[in-house]
Amino acid sequence: MSSTTDKIKGAINEAIGNAKQGIGNATDNDRLKTEGKAQELKGTTQRGVGEAKDTVKSAVGGKL
């Protein structure tokens, strides 16, 4: 995956995770809250991978 794709998918997963947590809080659904937190963390990690790829690419002169 490209760094841009990683960052976009990460942001989407974070947003969906936050929404799930909000719905879980509103409905007092512990399973949905947990799923939301896990998906948010997945998105944060995925976005971080994209940013790391950009950093490496910059460090080697954009030749990746």
Provide CB contacts within 8 A for 3, sequence distance 6+.
Answer: 50, 51, 53, 54, 57
pLDDT score, position 42: 98
- Quote the pLDDT of residue 7: 96
What are the angstrom distances between the C-alpha of 8 and each of 4, 11, 12, 48?
6, 5, 6, 11
pLDDT tens for 28-56 read 999 999 999 999 999 999 999 999 999 99
Check whether 4 has a pLDDT greater than 60.
Answer: yes
Retrieve residue 24's tokens.
């879980």
